[in-house]
Amino acid sequence: MTENDPFARIPEVPSFTVTSTDVADGVQFAPAQMSGAFGVEGGGDVSPQLSWSGAPEGTQGYAITVYDPDAPTQAGFWHWAVVGIPADVTSLPAGAGAADGALLPAPAFQLPNDARQVGFIGGAPPAGHGPHRYFVTVHALDVPTIDIPADSTPTFLAFNMLTHVIGRAIVVPIAEITE
């Protein structure tokens, strides 16, 4: 689906590979990746395991974002944003998006999501709204980190890293609640 593509209006960059034991392109989120905080029964708000490879030469660091462009808002919904992942790190375990950030590599840190909570918040599309896509993106950067305050929004991160992204690895799972 190209409708409402979050990368359509920003510069193209080379792609690299991201894989996960928890999510896959076009596959429904497991209960762990759904949002108990937003009332989804059995939702765990657990960030997915991610591994990546083939980042472009010159990569000095990474940022990770999870974005739902299908949310019933004018701006979509940011579920997770991590900044400052060192260039020698090529995976994060499931649950790295816990509020305490204990499973993140130093000096990485999380920004508040659109629910204004630090950490990963799972999918919770409104019942009957149809499938929502979750763009889980590893951004390869030409700098070690993006120098922004820890209370910044993910949109502010996206704006500030725009000229520093030299590659993207993307997996797009979905979530749909039918009842």
Q: What is the pLDDT of residues 35-90, one digit of tens each?
A: 999 999 999 999 999 999 999 999 999 999 999 999 999 999 999 999 999 999 99
- Residue type present at position 55: A
**Does the structure show a pLDDT above 90 at 3?**
no
pLDDT, residue 77, reads 98
- Residue type present at position 66: V
**Average pLDDT for the chain:** 96
Average pLDDT over residues 5-28: 96
Q: Which of 31, 39, 44, 161 shows the shortest CA–CA distance to 97?
A: 44
Q: Tell me the whole-structure pTM to 2 decimals.
A: 0.97
Task: List, in order, residues 6 or more apart from 116 with CB less than 8 Å away.
Answer: none
Which residue segments constitute the domains of the chain, with CATH numbers given? 17-175 (3.90.280.10)
